[in-house]
Homo-oligomer: A and B are copies of this chain.
């Protein structure tokens, strides 16, 4: 029970979710058709015939998840669809269906709303997701877009957070830290970068592309042992994966796949180590996974063939007692678990 004076803002997002989750656990938790209830990237239910359906939803609120001004409706729609596709991809599943709930202010330009749907459709078309409607409602508050997504995966290809074993290698798709670098750039318009780098970092922030094809390629090999998407920052999401699996981890800082664009920004501003963006930035929507060492080459080949996505070896799972550490040069440092927390407003 909450104390009478407790307010939502006094809890971090994860602590509040944890509290509320206990409330939810009362309902339906023991049904045999529920494969995974709370606590992974998406819920999983048995759809019969050896198939599972994964179910997820994620809200984007103006002023919290995207800026109150300066982000096009198309970007808002693309991002909202991608964020959900990323959760589906993290289970190894293919996204199938989406519903869109939109909360709009009376003074919202209709053209902006049409652009939001345009953006949703653009990403949906990319992955052949059928957008099956949803609803539009009025709000006095900031605009919000909530997308519900259903995905499908064969039961034996389903990838959860909890399957990593000590000795497994830790891999991540694509570049990490670009969204955080893009956020820095958005807040510092005086910084000059090459156009190409500017565009890459801005698009990483505003129009992330979920790793749907790579996720399916990885899952269908059936060699990975666990997977999660990187939305709260590598450190935070690795923490979720390690806790669910009952393992520790060592991350090799010098192996983190930082993009040339982020490196360029870091070298221009001479203030941030780009590895900080990668570890703590959040919103990358890449996939973080574990696999036995002998499976790594096949997984890397599969991801490369699924749209040319690099799959970088960045560390190793270790026994839980060793904790989660960062190897920097010869040093082994504790990896702080700092994460993007929307309720407290940290990290923004």
Contact = CB atoms under 8 A, between A and B. Distances in A.
Interface of A: 1-2, 4-11, 13, 16-17, 19-21, 23-24, 26-29, 31, 33-34, 37-39, 43, 45, 47-49, 51, 53, 55-59, 61, 63-65, 96-97, 99-111, 113-114, 117-118, 120-121, 124-125, 128-142, 144, 146, 148, 150, 342-343, 345
A139 B136 contact: no
Given A9-B107, A57-B146, A101-B146, A28 B114 contact: no
A86 to B, nearest CB: 13
A63 B140 contact: yes
Contacts of A117: 20, 23-24
A326 to B, nearest CB: 29
Given A19-B114, A103-B61, A38 B132 contact: yes
Contacts of A107: 7-9
Given A61-B139, A111-B2, A99 B132 contact: no
25 contacts: A2-B111, A4-B111, A7-B108, A8-B138, A16-B110, A16-B136, A19-B114, A20-B102, A24-B131, A24-B133, A26-B125, A27-B120, A27-B121, A31-B128, A34-B97, A37-B130, A38-B133, A39-B133, A45-B97, A45-B150, A55-B99, A57-B134, A59-B146, A138-B342, A144-B144
Contacts of A61: 103, 137-139, 141
Contact of A114 (B1, B9, B37, B113): B1
Given A64-B138, A136-B16, A114 B23 contact: yes
A34 B59 CA distance: 24
Contacts of A57: 99, 101, 134-135, 146, 148
Contact of A65 (B23, B106, B121, B137): B137
